[in-house]
Structure 1
Amino acid sequence: MARISVIIPVYNDADLLRVCLDALARQTRSADEIVVVDNASTDATAHVARSAGARVVYEPVRGIPSATSAGFDAANGDIFARLDADSVPADDWLERIEAAFAAGPEASAVTGTADFYGGNALSRWFGSSCYLPAYFSAMGMLLGHPPLFGSNFAMRAEAWPMVRNSAHRDRADVHDDLDLSFQFRPDMTVLYDPALRVSISARPFASVGAFARRVRLGVVTVAVNVMRESPIERRRQRAVPQLSAGDTPQPGFG
């Protein structure tokens, strides 16, 4: 049985982290370790993490990319499962991740989607019906494979050294999940499983300013990576589409 490490980068989100860790405690397949990366928080993040039995890694360089990378560097599992502090995974989340990798030995990563909580009905509808579908569709076309979704994905431990040095881990002005998606090479398969779900906060859509910041991070992330490699070249190297969970692998997939 593969060992699963859950990595959660956190900055001043102790209350939401507590809910996330409670959800992990209810998993039908327990995590082998939980690594909470305290990104220089000034609240009770570290105390909440340790009280729940998580291992705390301190990362002083502010930003989700640096915090996530520190968590991956510290993790000891065979599979790295990634959540945000506001993620509330379904009870079978880890069980489903384990099954996806068992059924897809060719996969380097598996990513899922989310439902939104909090906010108002409009913000929840926008997140679920507009924002996430647009993210997976547009970025999938650009990348040539499904993009990773930072609140809900997992990758094999051996994939991390292959992408670690090319990721923009010290840039707080990029989306860590999208940036990491750009680092996956043609022989690294990403599975998308729409049944792999978590609930996440609708706070990114709480104001025009908050949403504009997410869009700005996305534009910067695409720009810095497209300067390295054109989308046309990426698509050429990935002439065969990536799989969705449950598909039958075809010759030519990495």
Structure 2
Amino acid sequence: MLKVSIVIPAFNEQEHIVNCLINATRQSLMPYEVIVVDNLSTDSTVDLVKAFIAEHPTLPVRLEEQDTEQGLIPTRNYGFSKAGGDILGRVDADCMIKPDWVEIVTQIFTDDPEAMGATGPAVYYDMPAKRVGLKGDQVVRENTYRADDNQVLLFGSNMAIRHSAWDKIQPFVCRDKADIMHEDIDLSLHLIDQHLKTVYSSRMITGVSARRMDTSFSSFRNYMRRFRNTFEAHPSHSRKHNTERTLYALYPALRLFYPVYQKYLDKMDIDPAERIWLKEQIEIAQHAAPTDKSGD
């Protein structure tokens, strides 16, 4: 069976990192390893990860610290270099992967030996109407998150690549010192450069935070410009659809509603990251629990 490593770059993620680890290890198929790569955090991220490891010594979680250079790309690269799995999963520290994520990822790469990268949709766990939101995200990612001749682009919050594919593209991926590109799209375009197949699966689901919408318009606009910047850095590639147009259209309403909904969650003492996959986690735990035959 293929071994799946999960790499989680982290910078000042004390609010989410514990729930992220809980979801990464409450899986129907346990990952080979879960690697948190801290990147010069100044909050309690490192202490929380160390405490989680101490409290769960049997779980395959470990901490690595990339303290040479600030940035997502060097931190991601460092994590990939430390991973020993056949498949390298990559999620953000605010992501809550679905309890069958590792199992689905394993199936994708087992069933399709030519698949070198895989991605899927996201559900926003700190917003209401999650089913509607998931369906909307599926439509956008399945139909517009493409390059060239309908090649799938990987989504950094929910992606996995074969270790062998990473070995091929690692020398070529952009370092982006100016920090103006989308590192996941850059990685995807380098996979395409090497004629490596990328696939989309609607079953490969992760929960993400909508906190990106809770930023000023100038900050949001700069983030959206990363799409254009990335393709301009790769002039041999093109796209038919500008995914950011959909996000621009959603921004005004979500920018107003997001903080209001967070106040509601706080008032009701609801932790959405803790609850997003609770039902599925309970079902997995019940299925795994041994049957009590003491009354026989």
TM-score of the superposed pair, with normalisation by structure 2: 0.70
Question: What pairs up with 1:26-37 in 2 under 5 angstroms?
Answer: 26-37=26-37
Residue 81 (structure 1) aligns with = 89
Q: Distance in 2 between matches of 1:64 and 1:218?
A: 16
Shift in alpha-carbon separation, 1:214–1:127, aligned structure 2, 3 A: farther
Q: Distance in 2 between matches of 1:149 and 1:165?
A: 21
Residue 223 (structure 1) aligns with = 232
Cα deviations across residues 145-187 of structure 1 (Å, max 9, x unaligned)?
1100111111111011111111113532221111101101353
Q: Is the 8 A contact 1:38 1:59 kept in 2?
A: yes
Shift in alpha-carbon separation, 1:47–1:193, aligned structure 2, 3 A: same
- Aligned AA for 2:62? R
Shift of 1:135: 5.3
- Aligned AA for 2:163? A
Match of 1:194, SS state, is: coil
Q: Is the 8 A contact 2:120 2:155 kept in 1?
A: yes
Aligned length: 228
Give me the CA root mean square deviation: 2.4
Q: Distance in 2 between matches of 1:189 and 1:7?
A: 21
Runs of 4+ off more than 6 Å: 123-128
Residue 113 (structure 1) aligns with = 121
- Aligned AA for 2:76? T
Match of 1:57, SS state, is: strand
Q: Distance in 2 between matches of 1:108 and 1:98?
A: 12
Shift in alpha-carbon separation, 1:158–1:167, aligned structure 2, 3 A: same
- Aligned AA for 1:214? Y
Q: Is the 8 A contact 2:231 2:237 kept in 1?
A: no
Shift of 1:125: 7.2
- Aligned AA for 2:98? A
Q: Distance in 2 between matches of 1:219 and 1:203?
A: 22
Residue 247 (structure 2) aligns with = none
- Aligned AA for 1:33? E
Residue 214 (structure 1) aligns with = 223
Q: Distance in 2 between matches of 1:89 and 1:77?
A: 18
The structure whose Rg is larger is 2
Percent of residue pairs identical = 29
Residue 175 (structure 1) aligns with = 182
- Aligned AA for 1:58? E
Structure 1: segments with no counterpart, 5+ residues:
233-254
Question: 2:5 matched to 1:5?
Answer: yes
- Aligned AA for 1:85? A
